[in-house]
Every structure is written in structure tokens, then in C-alpha cells.
Amino acid sequence: MQTSANPAFGDKAVKRAKKDMSSAGVMTVNGTLAKTFLLFILFVSAATFAWVSLSNSADYIWPMIIGASMIALVTAIIIMFKSPTPLLSIIYSLAQGVAIGAISYNYADAYDGIVAQAVLLTVGITLGMYLAYATGFIKVTEKLKSVIIIGMLGVMFYYGIVFLLSLFGVNMTSLFSGTTGVVIGALIVVIAALNYLLDFDFIEKSAKSKAPKQFEWYGAFGLMVTFIWLYISVLQMLGASRR
């Protein structure tokens, strides 16, 4: 089975997940999309809750971001290294919703209208990539997979370098603002968007291989990972254009 650049769909994670699943029935694409929609609704609800809470008092914005992000990270690790369950997928979506809601509130406080733009652009890209894949407009070939995965590794290397340099007090502000920030941000957005193609291809192949029914939750979780990464990337790109 072909893997995706999405860490949730890595070979080892998939093998562990399938090994621990014993639910009756087989996975379907429609079932996966339905569960993804459910997780998305929970994600949006949690993000709205965080936004409304912070609008009353923004004193706890950073504890909220850090706390919710840690819960989401731990839950994601458990899902990828153990087994996906409805409960874990729901906890991940809710925690990410709180974190993203707080992050969005922070951006909105600095840049008027930026969140609405980011939401519309992210949803538009998501629907566009799904239609491009579903209609066969873009074919997921081995060459395309290699290009996307190389791009993903490049993004990871970039984040790693920026993080290491920040530990030594190196100011990387120029990389996140102005023309340079927009160009880098746009490249990351493109790579994140293209990763949808690998996710869709992976889910379709998993369904054809008659993966366990419970694997639909794993597919839904993986799509949420890509969606959240794309949204954050779009938000950062728009933020760079305003600095």
C-alpha cells in the first residue's frame, strides 16, 4: 500500500493501527468522509468556544494555546503509535479546535479580517483539491508522490532549522514578514494543499484493500491533520503579507 507524506499515514503507524483493529465491516470512502465531517464540526465548535471565551477575557490566551496544543499532540501520538478510536479522534479535534481558535483570535487582534480570509481560502483549497482528485483532473502518480514527499521533507527541514536557530537567539523575523515571508508561506501552503492528494489516494486504496471499518476514524484523523496544517500555513502567509 502506498503511503502519504502525512505522518498519520506512515507505514509503521498504519501497520500498528490495522493490527489493533478488530471491528466488523470494511472501510469505505464515504464512511471516512462522513467521520471527517463530524470531526470538522467538533473542531469548529471548539474553536468557536475558545474565540468567545477569549473575547470575554484574553488573559488566558497563551495557557489555552499551549495547554490545548499539548493535549492534541499527546493524543495524536497515541493515535499514531497505538490505535485510532472514535474517542481519541474526537479529543484530538476538540483540543485542536481550542488551540486554533485561540491562535486565530490572536491573529484577528493584530490583523483585522485576516481570519475570515484564512478560513475562506483554506476551505476553498480543500474543496478544490478534493474536486481535482475526484474528477481525475490531477492524477496521483509515483513521480508526483515523490515530489510532494520531497517538498514535505523540505518544509520539515526548514521548521527544524528555524527552531534550532531560535534556541541560540538568532532573529528570524525577516523570514516571517514581507515578501520573503509571503513567498515561503505560499510554498508551504502549496505543499500542504498537495498533501491532500496523497491523503485522498491513500484513503481510496485503503478502502479498496478492505481495511477494517474502524480505519475510517484513522483516515478522518489524517485529513484533519492536513486541514489544520493548511489553515495555519495560510494564516501565517496572510500575516506575513501584512507585516
pLDDT tens for residues 160-186? 887 787 777 666 655 666 777 788 889
The amino acid occupying position 26 is: V
Instruction: Answer yes or no: is 2 within a domain.
Output: no
CB proximity list for 93: less than 8 A, separation 6 or greater: 39, 40, 42, 43, 46, 224
Instruction: Answer yes or no: is 209 within a domain.
Output: yes
Report pLDDT digits (tens) over 149-158.
Answer: 888 888 888 8
Instruction: Answer yes or no: is 1 within a domain.
Output: no
| Cut 0.75: pTM above it | yes
Instruction: Answer yes or no: is 222 within a domain.
Output: yes
If one counts the domains in the chain, the total is: 1
Confidence of residue 21 (pLDDT cuts 50, 70, 90): low
Across the range 24-34, mean pLDDT stands at 88
Instruction: Answer yes or no: is 3 within a domain.
Output: no
Answer with the residue of higher pLDDT: 42 or 163.
Answer: 42
- Does 1 have pLDDT greater than 50? no
Domain range for 65 is: 8-241
Confidence of residue 140 (pLDDT cuts 50, 70, 90): confident
- Does 13 have pLDDT greater than 60? no
Mean model confidence pLDDT for the chain: 86
CB proximity list for 115: less than 8 A, separation 6 or greater: 104, 107, 108, 235
